[in-house]
Structure 1
Amino acid sequence: MSPPVAVVGGGSFGRSLAQAAARVGQRVLLWSRQPRPMPAVAGDGSIHTVSALPELAEAELLLFAVPSPYVAELADELGRSLDGSHLLVHVSRGLLGDDLHTVSEVLSSRTPCRRVGALAGPLVARNLVEGQPGGAIIGSAFPEVVESVSDAIGGPTLRVYGTDDLMGVEIASALVGLVALALGYAQRLGMGPGTLAVLATRGLAEATRVGEMRGGSARTFAGLAGAGDLIAAVAGDGRPEVEFGRALAEGLGLRAAAERAGAYIEGALLAKQVAAFGRRVGVEVPLSGGLARLMAGELSAEQLAEALMARPAKRE
């Protein structure tokens, strides 16, 4: 019997990954701190909820679907049951600290596993559950990681691509999430398509600058992890970051906005981290810096828009 696929995290995205894997015939082990009943599985696979992290060591591929602040603690605990044969892949849109350490760096430093990767692109929980046609990208230096994820969740309705630019994929995924938050905010304020287009393209350019400073390739930001993911957000794929931004624009606080979005939103902390990184390394990050001040209550939406539009126009 083939080893199962493990999913670490029982939130909406973790559960959707488990369902996507079961749909293509995988046996899935799902771990959550607060286990909940799973709906009937569409497909030939199965989902078994487990309560002890060491039980996940039976799997070869482990998919981490937990917010970035909790990854280190889980990696420390789970790492005692893992070895070099395991493959670790995360779906977090977060980065850690003002140096913007990636989740894959945490996983490889706190476990015996070196074959790590990141799953990114225009993926949202609802589409995974419903099996809507779409695509995703895996960043990893190890081809077997890409192949394993493709086998685990890929199928007739989900194309899985691969790249060895893991750093680029992680930075792109995180900052696109931040731009999506800004787009939701702008949409709720009634800003038009032209404004949203400027916001999206300038946000992607900012993400690319940050990514290159961390060692990523600009080409990655033009693909599924960057532009493709952002197009899906603009088109209205129902991602929680957009809803979070809309809630903030309505005057809700960070906690209430997260409850409205129904998910942990990495961008609430990420804007401040990226702004600090930009100051330290000398990279221009006006959108991230403005969003950080906006969420801290230091700037109004109107003041942010004026500040962004007042910046000197440069060559594309």
Structure 2
Amino acid sequence: MPVMPNAPSILSLDAEVVQTESVELTVIGAGAWGSALASLVQKNNHTVRLWSRRSEISLGEAVDQAQVILSAVSMKGVPSVVAQLRDIDIPPETILVTATKGLDPETTRTPSQMIQAAFPDNPVVVLSGPNLSKEIEQGQPAATVAASLHPAAAEAVQYLFSSDTFRVYSSPDPLGAELGGTLKNVIAIAVGVCEGLNLGANARSALITRALPEVIRIGTHLGGQPETFFGLSGLGDMLATCTSVLSRNYRVGYGLAQGKPLAQILEELGSTAEGVNTTQVLVAIANREGIPVPIARQVHRLLLGKITPQEAVEALMERDLKPEACDL
């Protein structure tokens, strides 16, 4: 269930301020995604501090005077970042943005839920969409969603990042936007397997199409709005992640289909593939809540080494016949 914030404080930052003044923003996480986001804001003539654990200054110094704090760390780093921020005096009008796609294995919460629970008085914004960081760094056109229960905060972030190559839409459904971007990573692993086995365009299209109702079923059960999953942060993100070799999760599935051990694939990637952890947490949620997740379940078994890629495909193809409109 979504963590509801308290009544929003009066923001010192809104869309008009963003368009007329230089805003101070701190990006936590200096990886490819964090660096790409920092670059977008800098191009709009705002002041950006990019911070990581290897930075020479402390996190407290990095966020001092920041009007917007954006977390772009991997999922495993979110609990630590939240804990560190709680020890800092963050003003309630500071906008907190999360650009992480994942689920916490301990609490099964999303990053925005964890941040909102720690900072109930602050506006929290989710930034999520079909955004492959390498393409954004190259200045190729892209679009994303700034979603928040605080419309003014979402609009401020919208204008903060928007440019002639990066279009940002606003949304009132942060949880749905976040879950869409998170759950599609599991599907990307499945599609990578499909591609690695050379099963063809028909199989890939069928898999993505059948995956969408599975994602919607999970996402709406957890509190997201159905229409969100048909937008940029849902279907849009799924298409980008499931059809590009730039996607780390896609490459995990592709490698498994080639017979590579998971540990070797992750080492070769040299970066985090969030879908691996998300699959484990998702199946745990599905078991707890009684949610049917046939595709995610086969991906989970494959990641655990309990079945081969071929057996995973066979298990999905041999399921009972049913009407297409049936969502199970």
Normalised TM-score (structure 2): 0.87
Matches of 1:247 and 1:28, distance apart in 2: 37
Contact kept in structure 2, 1:99 and 1:277, CA below 8 Å: no
Q: Which position in structure 2 is the counterpart of 1:52?
A: 58
Q: 1:63 aligns with which of 70, 73, 98?
A: 70
Deviations 1:186-235, CA, capped at 9 Å, x for gaps: 21111111111111112121110001111111111111111111222344
Q: Which position in structure 2 is the counterpart of 1:192?
A: 200
Number of equivalences: 302
Q: Which position in structure 1 is the counterpart of 2:166?
A: 158
Q: 5+ unaligned residues in a row in structure 2: which ranges?
A: 1-20
C-alpha displacement of 1:178: 1.5
Is the alpha carbon distance of 1:138 and 1:280 closer, same or farther for their aligned partners in structure 2, counting shifts above 3 Å? Answer: same
Q: 1:21 aligns with which of 41, 51, 61?
A: 41
Q: State which drifts further: 253-262 or 182-191.
A: 253-262
Determine helix, strand or coil for the equivalent of 1:29: strand
C-alpha displacement of 1:113: 4.8
Q: 2:209 aligns with which of 188, 201, 204?
A: 201
C-alpha displacement of 1:103: 0.8
Determine helix, strand or coil for the equivalent of 1:283: coil
Deviations 1:87-110, CA, capped at 9 Å, x for gaps: 111111101237631111111122
Determine helix, strand or coil for the equivalent of 1:212: helix
Aligned Cα root-mean-square deviation (Å):
1.8
Q: Which position in structure 2 is the counterpart of 1:229?
A: 237
Matches of 1:67 and 1:290, distance apart in 2: 24
What is the identity, as a one-letter code, of the residue corresponding to 1:18?
A: A
Contact kept in structure 1, 2:180 and 2:229, CA below 8 Å: yes
Q: Which position in structure 2 is the counterpart of 1:243?
A: 251
Q: Which position in structure 1 is the counterpart of 2:87?
A: 80
For CA contacts below 8 A with separation 6 or more, give which structure has more relative contact order: 2
Q: 5+ unaligned residues in a row in structure 1: which ranges?
A: 36-49
Q: Which position in structure 2 is the counterpart of 1:8?
A: 28
Q: Which position in structure 2 is the counterpart of 1:314?
A: 323
Contact kept in structure 2, 1:275 and 1:289, CA below 8 Å: yes
Contact kept in structure 2, 1:121 and 1:136, CA below 8 Å: yes
Q: State which drifts further: 268-277 or 204-213.
A: 268-277
Is the alpha carbon distance of 1:131 and 1:99 closer, same or farther for their aligned partners in structure 2, counting shifts above 3 Å? Answer: same
Alignment of 1:100-249 (within 5 A): 100-111=108-119, 113-236=121-244, 238-249=246-257
Matches of 1:57 and 1:177, distance apart in 2: 34
Normalised TM-score (structure 1): 0.90
Is the alpha carbon distance of 1:245 and 1:34 closer, same or farther for their aligned partners in structure 2, counting shifts above 3 Å? Answer: farther
Matches of 2:37 and 2:267, distance apart in 1: 21
Matches of 1:252 and 1:302, distance apart in 2: 14
What is the identity, as a one-letter code, of the residue corresponding to 2:323?
A: K
Determine helix, strand or coil for the equivalent of 2:125: strand
Percent of aligned pairs sharing the same letter = 30
**Moved >6 Å (runs of 4+):** none
Determine helix, strand or coil for the equivalent of 2:64: helix
Determine helix, strand or coil for the equivalent of 1:73: helix
Contact kept in structure 2, 1:203 and 1:287, CA below 8 Å: yes
Q: Does 1:285 align with 2:293?
A: yes
